[in-house]
Amino acid sequence: MPPRRPTTSAWRVAAVVATAALLALAIAGLASGRFPWSGGGGGSGGGDDDHWKKPGFCGRMDCPRYSTRQKHYDYQLREYEEAYWVATNISATKYELAVKMATLYLMEYFWGANNQSLRMKETVPLSVHYRTDGDPHTGTQHNYTVALFIPYEYQEEPPQPNNTSVWLYRNPKATLAVRMFQHRAREGRAIEEMRALLDALFHAGHDNIETGAMMVASYDHPLKHHPHHRRYHHSEVWVRGDFKLSPRRASGTNLPSASNNQLRIA
């Protein structure tokens, strides 16, 4: 009668080998980020570029891609990629009124007033641009350009707006100076933040910047009471310019002061 022992130990060896193989697979899986819990892959709306991590302040909404070129205590320099936006112009005496009206027409585009009757999910930011160096006789009347970022899914070929006063444009790759603030993008607050941004830029030695315009970006969902509307706020003011990556340090007191004469707002 042959003893049963060798068979039992053969099973043991097989079990150990199988366990080791499973462990090795698990480790390889974790290392390569293949498992859902390891956080790989962009999920919905994250884009397909692994090098770009959508900032938290965009929430679950699509927002334009950029790379941060410089980080300072009170501002950052961001290089934005070329992208499609949809915009409309509203001429009004009140910023808040212009934004409200523009949001309505832009939302209509997102909700199906386009040549393919596409319903697109909302995006951030809502950007508002207007000139502050215009004719002083126009008083508080401004031409506000209000724009929303086109969702990633339709960036290749966005549908045409039905309303001829709403148009698509391709924003070129550009470097912007950005100052963030955790408040609603109301005009008074935005003007204060813009002054602080211009001051910081001048003191850092950036003198080739566009000072005659206001650019405000709101990351709050354009509609209150929407499920994506968050309880905290994120807004930014933006300045275009020819930014040198290592600006000379500010020296002496003969730098232009942004708060005195650069930003004229009626």
Ligand X SMILES: *[C@@H]1O[C@H](CO)[C@@H](O)[C@H](O)[C@H]1NC(C)=O
Contacts with ligand X, residue ranges (CB under 6 A): 88-91, 105, 112-113, 115-117, 134, 138, 141-143, 145, 157, 159-160, 162-163, 165-167
CB of 101 to ligand X, least distance (A): 7
- Give whichever of 141 and 208 is closer to ligand X, judged by the CB atom: 141
Q: State which residue, 9 or 140, has the beta carbon closest to ligand X.
A: 140
Q: Which is nearer to ligand X, 6 or 157 (CB)?
A: 157
Q: How many CA atoms lie within 13 A of 134 on its CB side?
A: 15
User: Cβ of residue 65: shortest distance to ligand X, in angstroms?
Assistant: 22
CB of 228 to ligand X, least distance (A): 23
253: number of Cβ within 10 Å: 6
Using the minimum distance from each CB to ligand X, give the nearer residue, 24 or 223: 223
Residue closer to ligand X by CB (options 106, 237) is 106
* Nearest to ligand X of 100, 186 (CB atom): 100
CA–centroid distance for 22 within its chain: 42
Helix or strand holding residue 85 (H, E): strand 83-92
Secondary-structure percent of the chain, ordered helix, strand, coil, rounded to 5: 30, 25, 45
CB 97 to ligand X: min, Å? 12
| Cα 134 from Cα 96, distance rounded (Å) | 19
Distance of alpha carbon 134 from alpha carbon 213, whole angstroms? 9
In this complex, which beta carbon is closest to ligand X, that of residue 174 or of residue 180? 174
SS3 for 141-161, per residue?
CEEEEEEEECCHHHCCCCCCE
The alpha carbons of the chain give a radius of gyration, in whole angstroms, of 26
Q: How far is the CB of 207 from ligand X (least distance, A)?
A: 24
Q: Which CB atom, from 107 or from 180, has the smaller least distance to ligand X?
A: 107
Instruction: Name the minimum Å distance from CB 39 to ligand X.
Output: 36
Buried b (16+ CB within 10 A) or exposed e, 46-55: eeeeeeeebe
Q: How many CB atoms lie within 10 A of CB 73?
A: 6
Residue 61's identity, in one-letter code, is M
- Which amino acid does the sequence have at 39? G
CA distances to 9, 88, 101, 129, 177 from 141, in Å: 90, 16, 15, 14, 26
